């Protein structure tokens, strides 16, 4: 009888060990980080085949400039302005620094330009982005000032810099402002790489994240982004590498 009891206890002990091992294995499996879906695929550099309509200052004009569609805002809300600014801050000023930004301040100037500032306790990054076409007009990083006393003076100074190419009273209403040297002195442009282009693309267009968007670089100056939309169909987006200007947006039904 005692021998049978020992056998039963042994079997129960063995079963309990197996159950514990299964539980531990399942827990460890659940704790493993799940692989993130690939957001984009970069397909290389291509030759620009369409005629390029040159802007009076730098780069290209949006394709819809002559049918008045360019006045339809592409960066419509302060929240979207902050999201795009944060992506560009990370690309230009570094992810580690931007991770310390706990506060953003947004001002809309002349109903045309978003002025976005991200702050930590020591410094802040500044970005000016045009509402109608997403063109970045200024980017910088500066130490914080007590109570931000020179905020209005800073806005006036920045407006003078981006307004220097104004030709007449209709110039800004048609073409917008011109980026200053903080943008055009960037060696790789505002949208410096395919990753930055992809992240901005996802903010502008509601691409479905179940499959990667396709990215190409035309003539080393224009990012072309194409992908499946969340609601079905295909979205196409062209962004200027130097300043982030949205050159074209169009959609296709499947």
- Band of the pLDDT at 209, cuts 50, 70, 90? confident
Residues 62-91: tens digit of each pLDDT: 775 444 444 456 899 999 999 999 999 999
Q: What is the mean pLDDT of residues 93-105?
A: 94
**Is 163's pLDDT higher than 90?**
no
**Is 31's pLDDT higher than 70?**
no
Residues 128-137: tens digit of each pLDDT: 999 989 999 9
> In Å, what is the CA distance from 16 to each residue of 3, 7, 22, 28, 128?
20, 14, 10, 18, 64
Residue position matching structure tokens 């042994």: 10
Burial 30-66 (b: 16+ CB within 10 A, else e): eeeeeeeeebbebeeeeeeeeeeeebebbbbbbbbbe
- 132 touches 72 (CB < 8 A): yes
**Is 177's pLDDT higher than 90?**
no
- Terminal Cα distance for the chain, rounded: 76
Q: What is the mean pLDDT of residues 171-193?
A: 88
- 201 touches 159 (CB < 8 A): no
> In Å, what is the CA distance from 53 to each residue of 32, 130, 222, 229?
51, 19, 13, 28
> In Å, what is the CA distance from 213 to each residue of 44, 81, 123, 148, 245?
14, 22, 35, 41, 19
- 119 touches 105 (CB < 8 A): yes
């Amino acid at each position: 009888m005692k021998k049978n009891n020992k056998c039963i206890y042994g079997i129960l002990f063995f079963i309990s060990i197996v159950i514990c091992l299964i539980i531990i294995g399942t827990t460890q499996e659940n704790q493993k980080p799940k692989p993130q879906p690939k957001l984009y695929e970069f397909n290389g550099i291509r030759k620009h085949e369409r005629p390029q309509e040159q802007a009076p200052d730098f780069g290209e004009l949006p394709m819809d400039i002559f049918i008045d569609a360019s006045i339809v805002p592409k960066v419509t809300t302060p929240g979207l302005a902050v999201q795009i600014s944060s992506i560009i801050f990370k690309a230009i000023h570094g992810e580690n620094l931007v991770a310390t930004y706990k506060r953003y301040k947004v001002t809309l100037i002349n109903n045309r330009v978003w002025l976005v500032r991200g702050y930590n306790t020591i410094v802040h990054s500044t970005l000016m982005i045009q509402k109608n076409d997403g063109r970045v007009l200024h980017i910088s990083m500066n130490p914080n000032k007590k109570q931000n006393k020179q905020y209005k003076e800073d806005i006036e100074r920045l407006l003078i810099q981006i307004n220097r190419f104004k030709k007449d009273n209709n110039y800004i209403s048609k073409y917008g402002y011109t980026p200053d040297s903080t943008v055009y002195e960037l060696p790789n442009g505002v949208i410096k790489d395919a990753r930055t282009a992809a992240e901005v693309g996802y903010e502008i267009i509601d691409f479905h994240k179940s499959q990667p968007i396709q990215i190409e670089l035309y003539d080393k100056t224009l990012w072309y982004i194409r992908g499946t939309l969340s609601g079905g169909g295909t979205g196409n987006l062209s962004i200027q590498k130097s300043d982030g200007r949205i050159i074209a947006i169009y959609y296709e039904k499947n």
